[in-house]
A and B are shown apart, each in its own frame.
Chain A
Amino acid sequence: MLPARELPAVPAVPYSYCSRPRALPARPKYRALPGAAELEKEPVRYANLMYDRRVVRGNTYALQVTPVSTQPNPFEIQKQREARKRALARKRAKEQLQPRTPDPVEGREHVHVQTELYLEEISDRIIEVDTECQTDAFLDRPPTPLFIPAKTGKDVATQIEEGELFDFDVEVKPILEVLVGKTVEQALLEVMEEEELAQLWAHQRAYAELRNAELAEVQRLEEQDRRYREEKERRKLQHMQMLQKQKETTEKIAARAFAQRYLADLIPSVFNNLREGGFFYDPIERDIETEFLPWLMTEVEETLERKVLGRTMLDSLICTVVEKRLDAFSHQPLSDQTEAPTEEPRSTDAAPQVAGETDTADRSVAEKEETDEPVVEEQPSRRISFQLEEPDQAGTEDLEPE
């Protein structure tokens, strides 16, 4: 009886192992690549124990146990050595039994010699020869000559009546069927071909139509685009022109306003200038100024000159009279009485002359206001002087022609 083993109700002390028991993963079918082992960590697949190849199966009673140690026993090594020796000995014995050429005699040598009729060069290399062959290009086969075999044999004639050999209508049926069938078949093929061609044409035509339609669409859109662009250009141009015109108009207005303002006082200033320049004149005033006054002045000048002339004449007269009187007084006093009455008619002649002169002078004086009073006074004085000078006048008249 085996000693009762203590079965602990609760395993107080767990087993200790050199290696813990673990479920072995399945042996992979293929060897893992040398470098890839660590990289992939696939989920560990546990294999079924029943299908594991590492589990020993079958009868375990008479197993061939692998030796515990892999190193060979010395006993086995010896056995192997002996077996080898025996095989070698056997081989040697076999060799010795074979007949051999006896060894050469002294001074001679065995030599391999060819004894056939034709010597053969023995070498390792096998002699190889390359040969080619090619069929000739086809030659033109000349046309077959006409072969007319010579006549041989006996001539025999025979005649076959109608209906003897065969019945045409019956015999011809299959031939006809074949002929007609083939013809019809050929015709059908041709018709199908034509139909296929017609289909292809129709297909092509439809494609061409589609293409044309697309092309037309493209061209239409191009045309539309061109029209829109032109319209846009035109409108832009119009707008530009309008802006241009507006600008011009504003400039014109500005220029006009400026010019107006600038020239606003042009007219008054012009008139002022002209008036200052003396272009506006009262015609009567002008007339008076330009004509009347110079005339007046000239007349006044003339009158004054006349007066002056008169005065100078008077002066000269007085002078001469005085001189004459002087002379006369220095001469004899008789001549005074005789000359006095002759000089009286002359003085009366001279008096109306002088009176005429003085009347004209008075008249001219009466016209002008500017006659001086001394002139008026001088007239009577001159009259007086003239009357006094009557005798002198005669003397002067006498003197003058001298």
Chain B
Amino acid sequence: MAHARISANLPPDVDPTKARIAFGRRALPKLQEELHSPELLTQQRALMALCDLVHDPENVYQAIEIGFLDNLKTLLLHHDSTVRQKTTETLCIMAMHNVGRQGLIQNGVISALTELLDDPVDICRKNTHQIFEMMAKLHEGAVDILHAGLIPLLVFKLETEPDEIQELILDTLSNSLRVEASEALATGAVTILKEKLTHSSVAIRSKAAWVLLEIGTHPEGKSVLCEEVTPVLVSLLEDSDPQVQASAAGALMFATVKPQGRFSALAAEAIPPLLKLVAEETSKARLSAIKTLTMLAELPEGRKTLLDHIDTFQQCLDDPCETVKRAAKIAISVIKWKP
């Protein structure tokens, strides 16, 4: 029988999963009140709406001004997984904007996120790691992550998490270890990273090599690198993926700054693959390879071997990139140096 009600469904442009958004400036305060409501459905709907609104940077700014982050921090520990997931997603989107990042740092959200590292739901953890990765790109964010003592936890997680989360963790580690590496070395990160260097996934290998590079920028990291990792890195130089080659060459570059590293690299016969990398015109690893060979040329044996290959460096002098030219010039001068 026909009804006056045209259809049992609500009009099609109303999304039942989202709360209704008030007009203009009133939208976010209203959502904040809804977040406080005791009913689960209201909270979820408010979070969905918030998640969509936060894509706009102006809304991010307004949200932080109103003080949304404290609410979100409390909601991180909610028992319902959808709430947690949406909260982490919102924070992730906020972290993509600079205003959001600053707000996250000031409100100390990172320490609150530490609890979520052991969350049973995959997507929550993935979002959490994405937030960490974003934050680590900022210097203050990296410092915050170090202060929150996250590095040992992250290193530990490297072994248990699935691959995509591992990539995120490796990115976070590489960015935060640029600041300071002592904590990571204390937890034996180098051993774990050495395993990752032989992982099947290309991305993980290259990122692990990048983390080792960042560790190598610090003096204590260099000694650890020299002892253990140099042979593996040399074997990675011949890997098929240019990204991996570039990262491995970079890590070797820092490992060979110290004399022990140079000796171990020479012992592992690093010179031929490095020369191959230098000879390739379009290789990303060219600069790092030239630099590594420069370091190796400071040793007498290295210098002898490289004296035969000076023409490879001469070719590099024609590279369009200014730094490569300079590096090649420095390399040639070091090779030709007589005591």
Interface residues of A (CB under 8 A from B): 138, 140, 143, 148-151, 155, 206, 209-210, 212-217, 219-220, 223-224, 227
In the complex, B41 has a CB within 8 A of chain A: no
Task: Chain B residues near A148: list those with CB within 8 A.
Answer: 4-5
In the complex, B32 has a CB within 8 A of chain A: no
Quick check: A210 and B254 within 8 Å, CB to CB?
no
Pick the residue among B2, B213, B257 that contacts A155 (CB under 8 A): B2
Task: Chain A residues near B2: list those with CB within 8 A.
Answer: 155
In the complex, B127 has a CB within 8 A of chain A: no
Cα(A220)–Cα(B333), bound, Å: 14
Quick check: A209 and B22 within 8 Å, CB to CB?
no
Cα(A140)–Cα(B33), bound, Å: 12
Pick the residue among B20, B22, B253, B298 that contacts A138 (CB under 8 A): B22
Quick check: B22 and A217 within 8 Å, CB to CB?
no
Within 8 A of A (CB), among B237-292: 246, 250, 253-254, 257-259, 284, 287-288, 291
Binding site of A, secondary structure by majority: helix, strand, loop or mixed? Answer: helix
In the complex, B172 has a CB within 8 A of chain A: no
Task: Chain B residues near A149: list those with CB within 8 A.
Answer: 4
Cα(A214)–Cα(B284), bound, Å: 16
In the complex, B295 has a CB within 8 A of chain A: yes
Task: Chain A residues near B291: list those with CB within 8 A.
Answer: 213, 216-217, 220
A138, A140, A143, A219: which has the most chain B beta carbons within 10 Å? A219
Q: How many residues on B have C-beta within 8 angstroms of the other chain's C-beta atoms?
A: 27
Task: Chain B residues near A206: list those with CB within 8 A.
Answer: 284
- With both beta carbons as reference points, the residue of chain A lying nearest to B250 in the complex is identified as A212
Within 8 A of A (CB), among B9-55: 20, 22-23, 26, 30
Pick the residue among A138, A155, A227 that contacts B26 (CB under 8 A): A138
In the complex, B176 has a CB within 8 A of chain A: no
Task: Chain B residues near A219: list those with CB within 8 A.
Answer: 217, 254, 257
Binding site of B, secondary structure by majority: helix, strand, loop or mixed? Answer: helix
Quick check: B323 and A212 within 8 Å, CB to CB?
no
> Nearest Cβ distance between residue A144 and chain B, in whole angstroms?
10
In the complex, B179 has a CB within 8 A of chain A: no
In the complex, B327 has a CB within 8 A of chain A: yes
Task: Chain A residues near B294: list those with CB within 8 A.
Answer: 217, 220
In the complex, B330 has a CB within 8 A of chain A: yes
Task: Chain B residues near A215: list those with CB within 8 A.
Answer: 217, 254
Within 8 A of A (CB), among B93-128: none
Cα(A206)–Cα(B242), bound, Å: 13
CB 8 Å contact bits of B305-339 with A (1 = contact, 0 = none): 00000000000000000010001001000000000
Quick check: A209 and B257 within 8 Å, CB to CB?
no
Cα(A213)–Cα(B254), bound, Å: 9
- With both beta carbons as reference points, the residue of chain B lying nearest to A218 in the complex is identified as B257
- With both beta carbons as reference points, the residue of chain A lying nearest to B23 in the complex is identified as A138
Other than the given A143-B20, A209-B246, A215-B217, 12 more pairs (CB < 8 A) read: A140-B22, A150-B4, A210-B287, A213-B288, A215-B254, A216-B254, A216-B295, A217-B291, A219-B254, A220-B257, A220-B291, A223-B259
Quick check: B246 and A224 within 8 Å, CB to CB?
no
Going nearest first, the 8 A-B pairs with the smallest beta carbon separation are A219-B257, A216-B253, A213-B287, A216-B291, A151-B4, A138-B26, A213-B291, A148-B4
A213, A216, A223: which has the most chain B beta carbons within 10 Å? A216
- Given A138-B23, A140-B22: A212 in contact with B295 (beta carbons within 8 A): no
Task: Chain A residues near B22: list those with CB within 8 A.
Answer: 138, 140
Task: Chain B residues near A212: list those with CB within 8 A.
Answer: 213, 217, 250, 253-254, 288
Task: Chain B residues near A223: list those with CB within 8 A.
Answer: 257-259
Pick the residue among A140, A150, A209, A220 that contacts B30 (CB under 8 A): A140
Ordered by A's residue number, 12 sampled pairs between the chains whose C-beta atoms are within 8 Å are A138-B22, A140-B22, A140-B30, A149-B4, A206-B284, A209-B250, A209-B288, A213-B327, A214-B323, A216-B291, A217-B327, A223-B258
Cα(A233)–Cα(B245), bound, Å: 40
